Chain A
Amino acid sequence: MVKSRRDFIKISALGTTGVAVGGKLLFANNNKQTKVVPKGPFKLPSDFSRTPTYCEVCFWKCAGWIYKNDKGEVQKIIGNDDDPNSNGRFCPRGTGGVGMYYDEDRLKTPLIRVTDKYGNQTFEKASWEEALGLISKRLQKVIDVHGSECIALFTHGSGGKYFGNLVKSLGSHNIAAPSYAQCRGPREVGFIATFGDGLSSPEPTDIRDTRCLVLIGSHIGENMHNGQVQEMSEAIDKGATIITVDPRFSTAASKSKFWLPIKPATDMALLLAWMNVIIEEDLYDRKYVEKYTYGFGQLKAHVKSMTPEWAYGITTIKPDVIRATAREMAHASPAVIVHPGRHVTWYGDDTQRLRAVAMLNALLGSWGRRGGFYIPDKAKVPGVPHPPYAKPTRTWRDAMKGKYELADLALANGVCDATIPDASLGCSIKAWIVNGTNLVTTLPETEKTIAAIKSLEFIAVIDTMPMEITGYADVVLPECTYIERYDSLRVTQHREPTITLRMPAVEPKYDSKPAWWMAKQLANKMGKGDYFPFDSIEEELDWQLKEVGSSLEEMQRIGVKNLKRPYDDLYFKDDEDIEFNTNTGKIELYSTSLEEYGFDPMPKYTAHPEPPEGYYRLIYGRAPMHTFSRTANNPNLTDLMHENVVWVNPKVAKEWGFVNNQEIYLQNQDGAIATFPIKIRVTERIRWDSVYMVHGFGHANRKLSRAYGKGASDSELITKVMMDPIMGGTGMRGNFVTFLTSKPVKEEAKS
């Protein structure tokens, strides 16, 4: 049987048609005529004591219920038992999500930048009519003078769908999310190159039934990817072996049978040595490899010399440990997961490293197998009917000059680059719409981001909080929180296809509004109202839900609807004939598509720069109670953790004479100094050649009253970026820091 029922996209076709799979990010063209649907009346938030939602604190989007007290005020959020992403249990950030609503530092009214007669710039409160009028006027001016392709959207979160529709209706496809090139992009491309399919979100890792879970720099438990944390706990109960590779004794490492305290930046050597052992000792899934893979002979020859003894010299992991862990994986095969991780933009050869992860899984036969990777399913919900989008003649890709063609989604840093004027390119991007992403801390190389912003003719920022990016805006629009708004349906992949509703629990606080409303108003003002054919989001959702046999009324009652999987195809069947979506139709151990594009068809180990004397590799990560910088001011979550600290090994502390809680400043190899000091945490949990800090702190905007000046910003210390030549990911783990024990004297500003 040929597996054709899923929407595969050939990697060899990527990059040739601009945003070839933009439809993955945003809904595709749909020329169906609008059906006549009965209008409401729809129930109001005040008709319910609990309302369904899905969480907006992170991308896992767990479904839950918002409960109100007797006075109709929001009290707590509890998981929805029918939701496969949360199984009725929210993580600390989701539970603390009420703090996002109650945060008194929220953006409260639209703001417009004005310049007084002395040249001082300030924000002035504006009405929605004024603010939206100004945005539409300025965007129209950019379109008239430079063309609609000179507009770009940066987005993270649910509002992106509506602003995406707006931007595409205007004729631009420059729509980027930092979650791709600054985060998971390389693993998507690495897995597509191998299996013909990426991982998407939530990753289809069958952790609950695995017998061996291998984590490489992935810190489940500190990243609260809810379903995975839950399933790892279940796997621990069932006696699964966990193998963790990390220079830091992470929470996951502490739960592991094997912790491999690897020398940072050498993971590739370990992966190749594991493949060497599995092939040389005949431990691979022979039947699976013979039936499904292409290039085994080449791989065998390729890794022949990459023995555990070879890797020992590079990784500092002893050969017997490399062999023992390889055997452990093989014994569990196919119920083994070499986890792809999520934030994988480390050293610039990340696509190749994730290729090695994918290949190792292929050798172990875990792709498409119980306890390995299941085959996810997703509900098919029709998009809103609207006229076709105009095809743009230019995109951000033109500024890449032929590079990064294998990126399957837009690069946020690429859009940023395409904004900086370049005489050889003609028109650069002139206007940004930024929704829900604090670009100045999210993108590495802050100075470049600011340079791009300064060359813009217009920038509008839509957020719930006065994040640093709002300070650069011409117009700021206050978005209401997810607790106060409808959004598009959550249609995410899982073992069973589900759809989930988010509805408001209460009316928006202050003068804030939902993204769908803002986008629709702007579209109306700019003559693109046809792209938002419904009068209200309730009507739109009701129409969509009726198309899949539900209704808004039903979803308001149940929140999550599990639709049945149409086929019994969660795993491959024994001896099933499968055509993978690669050039050869096989799982490619030898990648013909990478070869086609001039890259190594099989991954190689490359030595990466090491910290100079007196410097330490900067490793950053997650804390379970925060999501990047977006939660740093949340009153409930700052109560759990209000600042980050820098982890320092006791040997290093002794050398520097540091004690716990001592405040120091961090300076990197390029002389960049973090604005705020950070406290030392002396701990054995980190290697002596590295330091560790949680990302998302050190906020510089005083309007974030709880977050201002708390801890230090790792982003300020990431000035060196190692670009992934395959897909344009920004490798950020090649920065080294040293300590300043006294407050650095600031140079006078030159401008």
Chain B
Amino acid sequence: MRYAMAIDTKKCVGCSDCVVACQTENLVPHGYARDWIVEVTDGTYPQLELEYRSERCNHCDNAPCVRCCPTGASFISEGGIVKVEHDKCIGCGACITACPYDARFVHPEGYVDKCTFCDHRLEQGQDPACVAVCPTKCLYFGDMDDPNSEVSLVVKKRKFKTLIPEAGTEPQLYFLI
């Protein structure tokens, strides 16, 4: 089992629904977010290109946040999900510095918080909240170890990129381009 997500930038309209759905699902306090939208414009009027990306933790195979955690609070859970055990976390922020994707933040209650791929929903056979809500259906989620899963198939079929591959983190978000 290896959970991964593919994000179709050709369909994403950058509406932020994934952000607010995550906030209400996971009770993320106002002012914080576990996922976010990046807008990139290239070119000069009128020769332009625009890309929207719905970003979140990359749930890296080689996760620097886990390696640097002094208390072992950051760990890799079932299916490769990178998680933080709140009780063990001392909020030192080493993982926040180590993450090249800026995917973590200190929750007002003192621990570091981040995307969990909504593993509490996965247990019930549901998709993560961001995937379930997306009006453009631009988010694909599933098991990369299963060659017939939707996410495996779409990553096989389409051209994609990952973010900051040179960091060697082996990220598990695939941006379809």
Name A residues whose Cβ lies closer than 8 Å to a Cβ of B: 75-79, 89-92, 95-96, 98, 221-222, 224, 226, 229-230, 232-234, 236-237, 249, 251, 253-255, 259, 261, 624-625, 635-637, 639-641, 649, 683-688
Contact = CB atoms under 8 A, between A and B. Distances in A.
Contact of A233 (B16, B23, B138): B138
Given A221-B13, A236-B10, A95 B52 contact: no
Given A249-B48, A251-B14, A230 B135 contact: yes
In this complex, which of A224, A254, A259 has the most chain B Cβ atoms within 10 angstroms of its Cβ?
A: A254
Contact of A684 (B11, B48, B133): B48
Contacts of A91: 15, 17, 135
B33 to A, nearest CB: 8
A532 B126 CA distance: 44
Contact of A229 (B13, B50, B51): B13
5 contacts: A221-B15, A237-B11, A249-B45, A251-B13, A685-B48
Given A254-B50, A641-B16, 7 more contacts: A89-B134, A91-B17, A95-B17, A230-B137, A233-B11, A253-B50, A685-B50
A625 B16 contact: yes
Interface residues of B, number: 34
Given A95-B21, A224-B15, A251-B13, A90 B133 contact: yes
Contacts of B133: 78-79, 89-90, 95
B46 interface: yes
A226 B24 CA distance: 19
B45 A92 contact: no
A236 B41 CA distance: 20
A645 to B, nearest CB: 13
Contacts of A683: 41
Contacts of B44: 684
B85 interface: no
9 smallest A-B Cβ distances: which pairs? A221-B13, A254-B50, A624-B15, A233-B136, A92-B17, A76-B24, A261-B46, A96-B20, A640-B16
Given A92-B19, A636-B20, A624 B45 contact: no
B137 A233 contact: yes
Contacts of B20: 92, 95-96, 625, 636-637, 639-640
B78 interface: no
Contacts of A78: 132-133
A75 B137 contact: no
B31 interface: yes
B135 A89 contact: yes
Nearest to B13: A221
Contacts of A259: 46, 48
A324 to B, nearest CB: 15
B43 interface: yes
Contacts of A624: 13-17
In this complex, which of A221, A226, A230, A649 has the most chain B Cβ atoms within 10 angstroms of its Cβ?
A: A221
Nearest to A249: B48
A172 B17 CA distance: 42
Contacts of A688: 45
In this complex, which of B16, B19, B33 has the most chain A Cβ atoms within 10 angstroms of its Cβ?
A: B16
B25 interface: yes
